[in-house]
Structures are given as C-alpha cells and as structure tokens.
Amino acid sequence: MKLFRTKNSIAAVLSLLVLASCDKRDQYVAPTPALTDNIITVASKESNLSIFTAAAKRAGLDQDMALLGTYTIFAPTDAAFTAAGITAAAVGTLPIDVLRAVLRNHMVSGRVRSTDLLPGPNAAYTSVQREVLNCSFYSGSFFINAKKVIQADIVSLNGVLHKVDGVLMPPLNTLTGTAAANPNLSLFVAAVERAGLTTALNTSTTLLTVFAPTNAAFNAAGFADVAAINAADPVVLGNILRYHVIPAATLTNAVLTSPYNRAGRAFSIDLTSNTYVTALGATPTITVAVSGTGVTVRGNSNTAASNVTAADILYFSGAAGTRPGILHIIDRVLLP
C-alpha cells in the first residue's frame, strides 16, 4: 500500500513526475469533437453514479455542472455513498446546504485527467467548496483524501469524471465538535475538557493528526465514566492526550518526503510502519504498524497495539477553520 513498494509503482511514479513537471490544472484541454454530453449528463448515464446525480439535482448543482465552467469531479459510487449513510432515500431528506457543501467538495475547477494528477503524497488541490483535497499515488493507484480512484478519465464536453470509492466529506466541525457527534467518543471529549485542551486543539494553526480512543478504550484504561474523567488529575490527562497527537513537523520532516508533499497531516494511507514523535515531546514516541489487515498504533507502555477502527475523519481547526486536521478512532488508550 505504500509509495514505491514495487518496481511497477516506481516506473509509474517516475513517468508521473515527468508529466507533472508543470501543474496542468489551469491549462485548457479541448474536448474530443465527438463529445456532446455535459458532465452531469455523462454522470447520469453511469449505472453506479445514480445517488451522485440525484444528489446534484436535489442540491440544484446539476445546472451549474451542465452550464457553468469546466470541472473535474471525483464522483463517489453508489456503494460509497451508501457506506457513508447517504442512501437514495436519504438524499431527499438531507438539508440542501449540507448536500451542496458535500457535493461541491468533490468538484475542482478545470479539466484534470489522471495523467495530470500530481503523485503527492498529499499534493494539494482546492475544491469548489474551497477545501483542500490531497492527492497521493500509492502502489499504482491514486487516492484523493485517502479515497481510491477506481475509474478515471470519463470525459465529457465540459470536464472529466473520476469515480472514487468513498465520500470526500468536508470538515464540518472542530475536533471536539466532530468527536461529540460520535456517542462512542464522549469520554475523549470529557478528557479534553478536563485537561483544559479544548481551545488549544480546536484552534490549532498547526496541522494535527489525532488518535481518539473510544469509550470502551477509556473504560479498559480505568476510566469508567465522565465522573472518573473529571476526578482525574488534569495534568496526567493532558499528558495522555498529547501522546495521541502527531504535529505537522513530525510528518513533513520524517515521513512525507516527496517534493510534491503539501502535507502536515496523515491519512491512513500515508502512515508507514514507523515511530512518530507526538505532541508530548521527542520522547517517548508512538509506534505505528501497517499491514494488509490495517493500521495499528502502540504506546511505549501498552502491552498490545491499538487498532485504527475508523480513519480519515476531517475536522476544521484554526481561527478561520481553514486548516483541517485528521481524526483516527482507536480501540485502546495509548500510554507513554
């Protein structure tokens, strides 16, 4: 899954580096003369993009896609939308503003074919929603915000479609706001509040990768409920929580070394089997292991590794909310 793992991947990436020596995102590429269908019409003819096209019509974006400008769309398949809880029936009940924000986060101005995509890791593109989409190339495939491009270069009169296997959700809340929306993270939120780290984490201008333990993980570590969290020493809690945070410098300097790197946060596909410096300080570090069965992370005092059970959840941070971080959910509390 990691970059340059096979000789074929090396050859593919070298060819991409040549193609990407200048960023082609803003260059106009004339469509094939025979093409007459606009991008939303082309999408509607794809059998597994029915939820995407229905959502575009409900959000009123179908006319924009048909008439205004040239677009590259990373379109989630029906299976991807369904896995994210957005079924065909749900499309009709979602608030229009939320639906528009989600769909606009899948759109990039201009025509970007797969041969134009920068290999990353985490090369930055800006969506129509004005959020950063990070493109990476690993083991022969492109990923956008860790979602795999499963079919590329479906061309239309005014753009190009790439099908992806996941929904590119924009960050909709702060770290604690995002965590609070998950009932299995209520003890994590309580711990952040007890440690006095709410403001620091929610408004950090440094990009952060955060591992949030579930309630069951806190229970196993001796914190039975919110009362137990509130009875704990806030300094001890603060040190534990900082041990679950990887700051940008660790990733930029030690892991994501490509010249196309625009990173400072790690999606699950970016993590490598390595040790990472945390916000607690240079020592102790946490140890990440990556295998075919997923990603695990272990603290120095843990007897067993923690599994990443849900990954790549974006949250917004900073005063203007323009520097989103990444939240990964884990099933054990990491102990220094």
Mind listing the pLDDT tens digit for each residue in 83-108?
999 999 999 999 999 999 999 999 99
Query: pLDDT > 90: what percent of the chain?
Result: 69
Residue showing tokens 């001796």 = 222
Query: If you write DSSP's letter for every residue of 235-286 in order, what string do you get?
Result: HHHHHHHHTTEEEHHHHHHHT---TT---SS--GGG--SEEEEETTEEEEEE
- Report the pLDDT value the prediction gives residue 260, as an integer from 0 to 100: 53
- Report the pLDDT value the prediction gives residue 27, as an integer from 0 to 100: 43
Distance CA 159, CA 153 (A): 9
* Residues recorded for the chain: 336
- Report the pLDDT value the prediction gives residue 250, as an integer from 0 to 100: 73
Best CA proximity match to 297, nearest among 265, 326, 325, 272:
272
Identity at 212, one-letter amino acid code: A
Question: What is the mean pLDDT of the segment spanning 5-19?
Answer: 34
248 with 264: CB under 8 angstroms? Answer: yes
Note the pLDDT tens digit of each residue in 34-53: 578 999 999 999 999 999 99
Note the pLDDT tens digit of each residue in 132-176: 899 999 999 999 999 999 999 999 999 999 999 999 999 989 999
Domains in the chain with CATH codes: 7-164 (2.30.180.10), 175-330 (2.30.180.10)
272 with 288: CB under 8 angstroms? Answer: yes
- Report the pLDDT value the prediction gives residue 207, as an integer from 0 to 100: 85
Note the pLDDT tens digit of each residue in 271-325: 889 899 999 988 889 999 999 889 999 999 999 999 999 999 999 886 555 567 8
Whether residue 59 has pLDDT greater than 60: yes
Distance CA 282, CA 307 (A): 23
- Report the pLDDT value the prediction gives residue 122, as an integer from 0 to 100: 86
Distance CA 43, CA 59 (A): 15
Q: Can you read off the two tokens belonging to residue 121?
A: 């890791």
Note the pLDDT tens digit of each residue in 235-282: 999 999 999 999 887 775 545 555 555 567 889 998 889 899 999 988
Q: Can you read off the two tokens belonging to residue 144?
A: 């956008």
Whether residue 192 has pLDDT greater than 80: yes
87 with 80: CB under 8 angstroms? Answer: no
Name the helix (H) or strand (E) containing 143: strand 141-144
Distances in Å between the Cα of 217 and the Cα atoms of 259, 329, 330 are 38, 10, 8
286 with 169: CB under 8 angstroms? Answer: no
Angle value at C-alpha 110, between 109 and 116, nearest 5 degrees: 120
Q: What is the mean pLDDT of the chain?
A: 86
**Edge-to-edge order in the sheet of strand 159-164:** 107-109, 71-76, 159-164, 147-156, 141-144, 132-138, 123-126
- Report the pLDDT value the prediction gives residue 23, as an integer from 0 to 100: 41
Main-chain phi, psi angles of 48, to 5 degrees: -105, 20
114 with 122: CB under 8 angstroms? Answer: no
